[in-house]
Amino acid sequence: MDKLRAMALLVATAETGSFSQTGRKFGLSPASVSRQIAELEDQLGVTLVLRSTRNLVLSEAGQLYVRQAEMILASVDAADAGMSAMQQAPTGVLRVHSRTMFGVAVLAPLQVDFARQYPDVTVELHLSEKAVRLREDGYDLDFRIAPPQEAGLMRKRLFLSQRIIVASPDYLDRMLPIEQPANLRAHNCLVYWLNGDPVTWRFRKDRAVEEIQVPSNFASNNGQVLLEAAKAGQGLALLDDYTVAADLASGRLRRVLGDYRTTNTTFEEGIYATFLEGIQIPQKLRVYLDFVSESWASKVRAVP
């Protein structure tokens, strides 16, 4: 017995009230419809349909079973539709929001290859430092540096990252040595600024966490600006590792306090793709996430 087929026949019979009408819908004889439902009843050990010469009525057990069967059949249809969609070329407009530095350092360089591979997907990449609301602001995807807390959102961690302290060789050569977090009080720190409050950097080593309110004569809400200021020798900057990897490799920057985990937020760091919760992820979103994850993962190198 094909159980899903029998479920579909039972659900249709509940709607039509007739084996004959159900049979016409499925191209079966009334006797075949009746037989398959009877086999389902035998397997379950309950009567699902009360039969009479005038009409067919669901039993109490039949009503309960039909409700469950409808949900099962709907899930099967959704799964089939999802597999079908995977075979189709993705199309449409994909609206993406990202923090500026991640967009510039990671997403923008990947766009040319993505467009070649998926020419029918138009990517609208919006960069800012503000928190966005996906549904209200009309975005399909938001790249975040922390897991989403809002209800109704899905997340996918693309890769781990960490924030590290960097400075130019010139700055470090002319200033006092930095051997522990407390030494930063004698230095100039280039800080990420949002609301004007004092800026605290957090340090973790061997499970011990230390917080330092760092002195600063320059603040910005743009990581690229802080990076350029650090390379120019103005001070120490706390930046994501993927944004400074090239400068560390070239020697334009050096890492400071490398035996500490450092952050200005939380230590649960990484890049999180955030999108609306749903049974089926749109194909254009699925291929974009896979492309970004696979392409960038192959380029990520350990920070010196």
Contact 158, 110 (CB under 8 A): no
Task: Read off the pTM.
Answer: 0.63
Domain that holds residue 222: 163-263
Residues 54 and 131 in one domain: no
CA 164, CA 303: separation in Å to the nearest integer? 9
The answer as to whether 57 is a domain residue is yes
The reply to whether 213 and 136 lie within a common domain is no
Q: Measure the CA dihedral 171/173/177/178, to 10°.
A: 40
Q: How many domains in the chain? A: 3
Q: Is residue 76 part of a domain?
A: yes
22-37 per-position pLDDT tens digit: 999 999 999 999 999 9
135 with 277, same domain: the answer is: yes
The per-residue pLDDT for range 138-166, each reduced to its tens digit, is: 999 999 877 767 778 888 888 788 899 99
Same domain (yes/no): 60, 102: no
251 domain-assigned: yes
Task: Say if residue 153 is in the same domain as residue 176.
Answer: no
Please indicate, yes or no, if residue 253 is contained in any of the structural domains: yes
CB 304 within 8 A of CB 255: yes
| Segment 192-214 mean pLDDT | 87
Examine residue 14 and state whether it is found in any structural domain, yes or no. Answer: yes
CATH number at residue 68: 1.10.10.10
> What pLDDT sits at residue 52?
82
At 122 the three-state DSSP class reads strand
Amino acid 300: pLDDT: 54
